[in-house]
Amino acid sequence: MAFWFWYGLRNGIRSTRYPAAPESSAGISPGRPLDTLFADPLEAARAAANCPASAITAVDSLARVDFKKCVFCQRCHFGTRDELHWDASFEWTQRHSSERGYEPLPRDFAHSLHIIVVDAGDCGACLNEVKQLNNPLYNMHRLGFFFTATPRAADVLLVVGPVSENMRGPLIKTYEAMPDPKRVLSVGTCAITGGVFGQTFTSAGGVGSVLPVDLEVPGDPPPPLSILHGLLVVTGRKQPMDAQHSPVNEVSK
């Protein structure tokens, strides 16, 4: 057993220093498509038609991206002549509705947050990204975030998946079992708009139609740092992204 102790020590501290310092290692995030100004409306329309999730709308020559619908098929990233600009960000958390402001949890929770995760039918990628928050490279414990096994001890309900019909009841029960104050964080495009599954007889098309959602983290899947950003926004340690569109970029071909 002593071996494992030294083995762990020898491998050193690998945790990212985010949010204290910006994180920019390779591969931490796939990035996201940005609004792009094309040369003429035809190209913009082609770009919009290229998107299988209808996340891009063409307004004159501007191709607007509704990131909440983007499923990361990357068809606008390469392999086509109408490529959009992509950035390398990961801080994507937004409020659920732009009319209603977001009130973070009281200050006592800022460094001691307990999270219960409910898998409401997700494909496995979002859940895996959530699980990565526990590994030494992200180590969310240093920020005071913990996963709990029971909703009775939880402050935040983190939902992944489009809420399949069979999971609707358990999800509502989990929410009702949580004591106040509580917040709901939906993670992943499926949990926001239903993703590729949409709204069907067996998929609610997002958590918003089942529970009162406070914050959303779009992405398919959002990388762990995005989810971490989401948790920081829940506690008020960071601000949510403006739901308005991202800055416009010229197409530089």
Rounded distance between C-alpha atoms, residue 28 and residue 23, angstroms: 8
Site string for other proteins, 47-66 (x = CB under 8 A): -----xx-------------
Cis peptide before 151 (omega within 30 of 0): no
Q: Say whether residue 112 binds other proteins (CB under 8 A).
A: no
| Of the residues 140, 158, 228, 241, which one makes contact with other proteins according to CB under 8 A | 158
Sign of torsion over alpha carbons 237, 160, 115, 136: negative
Q: Say whether residue 208 binds other proteins (CB under 8 A).
A: no
| Of the residues 13, 22, 149, 253, which one makes contact with other proteins according to CB under 8 A | 149
Q: Least distance to other proteins from the beta carbon of 113, Å?
A: 14
Rounded distance between C-alpha atoms, residue 238 and residue 241, angstroms: 9
SS3 168: helix
Q: Say whether residue 140 binds other proteins (CB under 8 A).
A: no
Closest CA to 66 of 81, 48, 91: 48
Closest CA to 188 of 73, 69, 74, 97: 69
Rounded distance between C-alpha atoms, residue 150 and residue 166, angstroms: 20
Return phi, psi of residue 94, to 5°. Answer: -130, 160
Q: Say whether residue 206 binds other proteins (CB under 8 A).
A: no
Q: Least distance to other proteins from the beta carbon of 102, Å?
A: 23
Nearest residue (CB) to other proteins, 100 versus 152:
152
Nearest residue (CB) to other proteins, 118 versus 143:
118
Nearest residue (CB) to other proteins, 102 versus 147:
147
Nearest residue (CB) to other proteins, 150 versus 239:
150
| Of the residues 3, 20, 99, 252, which one makes contact with other proteins according to CB under 8 A | 3
Cβ-in-10-Å burial (0-12, 13-18, 19+) of 189 comes to buried
Q: Least distance to other proteins from the beta carbon of 194, Å?
A: 9
Q: Say whether residue 105 binds other proteins (CB under 8 A).
A: no
Q: Say whether residue 212 binds other proteins (CB under 8 A).
A: no
The secondary element (H helix, E strand) that includes residue 145 is strand 145-147
| Of the residues 180, 244, 252, 253, which one makes contact with other proteins according to CB under 8 A | 180
Sign of torsion over alpha carbons 16, 234, 204, 76: negative
Q: Say whether residue 22 binds other proteins (CB under 8 A).
A: no
Q: Least distance to other proteins from the beta carbon of 68, Å?
A: 16
| Of the residues 36, 93, 94, 174, which one makes contact with other proteins according to CB under 8 A | 174
